[in-house]
Amino acid sequence: MGQAPVVYGQSDRPPRGDYARAREDYTCEQNWQAYSAQDHDTYHRLYQRQSAQLPGLASQAFIDALPLLGAKECIPRFDDINQRLRRATGWEIVTVPGLIPEVPFFQLLANRKFPVTDWIRKPEEFDYIVEPDVFHDLFGHVPLLFNPVFADYVQRYGEGGLKAARLGACEQLSRLYWYTIEFGLIREGGALRAYGAGILSSAGELPYSVRSPQPQRLPLELLRTMRTRYKIDSYQQTYFIIDSFQQLFDLTEQDFTPLYQALQGQPEFAAGASMPDAAGTTNP
Ligand code: PHE
Ligand code: CO
């Protein structure tokens, strides 16, 4: 698309990808030849640092599936991952230049296509970037797409997104994405573990989300979650916990239309608001 880039997501800067090379549906080719030795080295070092701290912090389903990404020493070829992913759950990853607008994003998910950014952060951004890069998208999101129940949840979320767009409820629904797919915690064998991609791709937030006494941790509840605003530039102040991916799937199977109606006119919760009375919007 030859137009000026629009701001996607909640950042106030334009996205940094090259959108001119994208097709109508925002997908493009992974330009694998263009990666430099330094790019591959950045991926390798991020992979090593993050995989070393998974035991005891990450969901077992994630740990088990991680090797299916293939190459660790270099940025994998997406086609290589797709050969295994298609066979496992019928999902595939598609390349995008960066964040894309809501409706095309939902459309891809509804068709079992997960958009993965192909560029990688610069070495000086090793610990933190605002926009998702290939390390966040691949390492954080793709392993759980090998899990059949989680994979179905993400597709249903895409369909739900298209419906939310028709109902003007994208903001509410996107909070569910944020607090599950990006920053979700799960209880496994009585212990807390992370399954959200934003946590799993972050060296600092992984131990923080599971162990720190600071944040609030609540059981996932649809209305509460969809009322809770979030911060994109700091560790989360609230995490929502599920008991299993099946529970997450079952919980979200219901028709959200009455939920969106119920949410209208209800005050939002600030990112760190505690239950039951701190609505956050009216803090003096
Ligand atoms: N069941 C939801 C609806 O009717 C769609 C949805 C599914 C939303 C899974 C999120 C996750 O809108
Ligand atoms: Co993400």
Which pairing describes strands 185-188 and 191-194: parallel, antiparallel, or unpaired? antiparallel
Read off the DSSP letter of residue 274.
Answer: P
Does ligand 1 come within 6 angstroms of the Cβ of 11? no
252, 253, 259, 260, best to mutate for ligand 1 pocket (most atoms within 8 Å of CB): 252
The pTM for the full model equals: 0.93
pLDDT of 278 > 50? The answer is: no
Does ligand 1 come within 6 angstroms of the Cβ of 256? yes
pLDDT in tens, 56-78: 999 999 999 999 999 999 999 99
d(CA 134, CA 140): 9
Which pairing describes strands 113-117 and 92-96: parallel, antiparallel, or unpaired? parallel
The ligand 1 atom nearest the CA atom of 164 = 12
d(CA 178, CA 184): 8
Q: Where is 219: in which H helix or E strand?
A: strand 216-219
pLDDT of 9 > 90? The answer is: no
Q: Three-state SS string across 61-104, please?
A: HHHHHHHHHCCCCCCCCHHHHHHHHHHHHCCEEEEECCCCCHHH
pLDDT in tens, 263-277: 998 999 999 888 654
Q: Can you give the residue ranges of every domain in the chain? A: 5-263
Q: Are the CB atoms for 271 and 236 separated by under 8 Å?
A: yes
CATH number of 5-263: 1.10.800.10
